[in-house]
Amino acid sequence: MSRWQLRSVSDELRREYRDNGWWDDASLGDLVAAGLDRMHDVPFRVRSQVRPWDGTFADIDRAARSLAATWRARGIGAGDVVMFQLPNWVEAGITFWAAAYLGAVVIPVVHFYGAKEVDYILATTKPDVVVTAVRFGQSDFAATYDELLPRHGSPCWLVAGADGEALPAGATPFESALGGSPITEPAAVDPDSPAIVAFTSGTTKDPKGVVHSQRTIGCEARQLHHMFPGIGPPGITGAPVGHFIGMVNAFLVPLLRDLPVTLVDVWNPERVLKLMLDEGLGMSGGATYFLTSLLDHPDFTPEHLKLMPFAGLGGSTVPAAVTERAERLGIRCYRSYGSTEHPSITGSLLHEPQEKRNRTDGHVLPGVEIRLTDEGEIESRGPDRFIGYTDPDLTAAAFTPDGWYRTGDVGILDADGYLTITDRLADFIIRGGENISAVEVEDVLLGLDAIAEVSVVGQPDDRYGERAAAMMRLHPGAECPTMEVVRAHLQSVGLAKQKWPEALYEVADFPRTPSGKVQKFKLRADLRAGRFPREDSNA
């Protein structure tokens, strides 16, 4: 792990974080063991059309301890790397908790990442264990990993969901690894050591590996629990567990709440609304899309409203029109702001003034500090902030000389200390809570012969907050590619579908700085103002 050249905080901050209880010496395994032991009889369910599951936390705890024993017998222990790419299935929970018990570093990978992203993550982290589904939706994980893993040392590979079918030669059925005699105690690990590496798209061409320590991830779970209002029925978890916040909300925060967990592997509003009524479940928030997809559905009724007393929104742009609409319906909303690097920077609590909850991104959370540069960029530090990237150059660029994290976001503070995000310096789009690297998409689009130059920016979207729009300057005499042509090209290079542009525009040229750099903030402003004629869209 030393090859990643991770950061540590000053002795002064360490004392402050410990004295205030924001840090302790518990490992991720300690947190898991305490929570699962206390919640043995609490239900854990997966509502899936392809892999449903019903049981309790005790069932998962036994399976996780058995899996940990199997891995330990193979020499897997503290500091080794366990990577998983799974939908919201029970195997994801078993894998996460087993790795935590061993003190292994967990690498969650969102299930829609394709061969391009997966190959990079494998090369960067060199996992000792890989756990995947056999397939899910349009993704054939068995075929992808069968091709990729031999290039990366052929780690131990477990496959969930095979159900007796033949697997590639290097793969082992997941259930065959659950026969070990369960371990009794979590491994002892350094609380400052890496616990999780979460890969997120952003301003770089390749995904960025964000490293959190045992301490920072434990603090983050407590931060999220701190904002939870503690009212309403148990919620449905639809965010992918391969995404950092989805994973924390599914597998860590519930251990502090003693509440049942219900996962869905596909967010289908019609089925989610039926599930809410059938099982008395709520939907407590997340990215804006999760809320608006339910409110907009024709099956939404006053009975559903009774199950939704609040919604905590964040992870993507939160239009004031959405929060005000929800408030009129009786759903009390609050917003929060953070990133994979620093997950909980600001937020509001449900008892605070509606104007603040609905129209700002909240105030700093316990232990967190922020400051604004002369350009308005937000810099942060706090007990739940990451300890660096897997790429040491990115780490060096992300921190100021005095140790503050450069968020790349621009904001303003009001007189009461509430923050509002106004723009982004960082070049990425947040679609339904998922980051899309504009640089990565632009690089791939330039493989189309017709395109001389392209800028990908976020276009406002009522459901997802933003969606990717591609502004294309063409070579002289070239014909503008259609959406069908663009999709076929992106599919051929293996770019994850969620990153594909959803609107195409032809431009004669771009607004530029005196040095020739495209002024994307002007493109975003023009899109918001509707100044671009629509060329092609899948809207």
**CATH code of the domain covering residue 70:** 3.40.50.12780
CATH (domain of 477): 3.30.300.30
Percent of the chain with pLDDT over 90: 71
Q: Which residue has the higher pLDDT, 415 or 288?
A: 415
What is the pLDDT averaged over residues 216-235?
94
Quick: pLDDT tens for 102-151: 999 999 999 888 898 999 999 999 999 999 999 999 899 999 999 999 99
Q: Do 456 and 469 meet the contact criterion of CB atoms below 8 Å apart? A: yes
Structurally, the chain folds into a number of domains equal to 2
CA separation for the pair 315, 339 (Å, rounded): 7
What range defines the domain where residue 53 resides? 2-217
Burial class, 521, CB count within 10 angstroms (exposed 0-12 / middle 13-18 / buried 19+): middle
Q: Do 340 and 239 meet the contact criterion of CB atoms below 8 Å apart? A: no
Lowest average pLDDT, out of 23-37, 254-268, 367-381, 521-535, goes to: 521-535
Which residues lie below 8 Å from residue 244, measured CB to CB, with a gap of 6+? 108, 196, 198, 200, 210, 340, 343
Query: Given this model, what pLDDT does residue 539 score?
Result: 45
Distance between first and last Cα of the chain: 45
Number of other residues whose CB lies within 10 A of the CB of residue 277: 14
The pTM of this model reads 0.83
Domain boundary at 191, 217, 243, which?
217
Locate the DSSP E strands across 161-248: 171-173, 194-200, 208-213, 236-237
Query: Given this model, what pLDDT does residue 1 score?
Result: 45
Confidence of residue 316 (pLDDT cuts 50, 70, 90): low
What is the pLDDT averaged over residues 320-348?
93
Quick: pLDDT tens for 193-215: 999 999 987 656 788 999 999 99
Quick: pLDDT tens for 416-436: 999 998 777 667 788 887 878
Beta bridge partners of 107: 83
The answer to whether residue 325 is domain-embedded is no
The answer to whether residue 497 is domain-embedded is yes
The answer to whether residue 111 is domain-embedded is yes
Beta bridge partners of 130: 83, 157
Which residues lie below 8 Å from residue 191, measured CB to CB, with a gap of 6+? 23, 24, 25, 26, 27, 213, 214, 215
Task: Return the amino acid letter for 175.
Answer: E
Quick: pLDDT tens for 140-187: 999 999 999 999 988 999 999 998 889 999 999 999 999 889 999 999
Domain boundary at 217, 242, 266, which?
217
The answer to whether residue 310 is domain-embedded is no
Quick: pLDDT tens for 12-71: 999 999 999 999 999 999 999 999 999 999 999 999 999 999 999 999 999 999 999 999
Phi, psi of 285 (to 5 degrees): 130, -150
Confidence of residue 496 (pLDDT cuts 50, 70, 90): confident
The answer to whether residue 285 is domain-embedded is no
Q: Do 400 and 379 meet the contact criterion of CB atoms below 8 Å apart? A: yes
CA separation for the pair 267, 283 (Å, rounded): 12
Locate the DSSP E strands across 34-80: 43-47, 53-56
Domain boundary at 217, 247, 278, which?
217
Structure tokens at 528: 């918001």
Per-residue pLDDT for 515 more than 60? no
Query: Given this model, what pLDDT does residue 396 score?
Result: 94
Locus of tokens 């024709």: 298
The answer to whether residue 145 is domain-embedded is yes
Which residues lie below 8 Å from residue 303, measured CB to CB, with a gap of 6+? 277
CA separation for the pair 130, 210 (Å, rounded): 19
Q: What is the DSSP string of 433-491?
A: TEEEEHHHHHHHHTTSTTEEEEEEEEEEETTTEEEEEEEEEEPTTPPPPPHHHHHHHHH
The answer to whether residue 104 is domain-embedded is yes
CA separation for the pair 63, 69 (Å, rounded): 10
**Residue of 109, 164, 96, 102 lying closest to 141 (CA atoms):** 109
Per-residue pLDDT for 514 more than 80? no
Query: Given this model, what pLDDT does residue 535 score?
Result: 58
Q: At what angle do helices 244-251 and 90-102 cross, to 10 degrees?
A: 90
The answer to whether residue 316 is domain-embedded is no
Q: What is the DSSP string of 305-316?
A: HTT-SEEEE-SS
Query: Given this model, what pLDDT does residue 187 score?
Result: 96
Quick: pLDDT tens for 266-314: 999 999 999 999 999 999 888 888 898 899 899 999 999 999 999 999 8
